[in-house]
Structure 1
Amino acid sequence: MAIASPAVLLVAALLASPAIASCAKGETPIGDASLRYLICVPVAAIMLAILRALTRDYGSGPEPIIAHLLRRRTDPRPDRPIEGDAPVQPREPSP
Structure 2
Amino acid sequence: MSAYSETFVALVSGNRMTAGVVAHLLAQLREETAHELAQEQRAYANKAYAATEADPYAQQRIKRRKKGAAYAVAALIDPAAPNPPAPSGVQIYWSNR
TM class, shorter-chain normalised?
Answer: 0.3 to 0.5
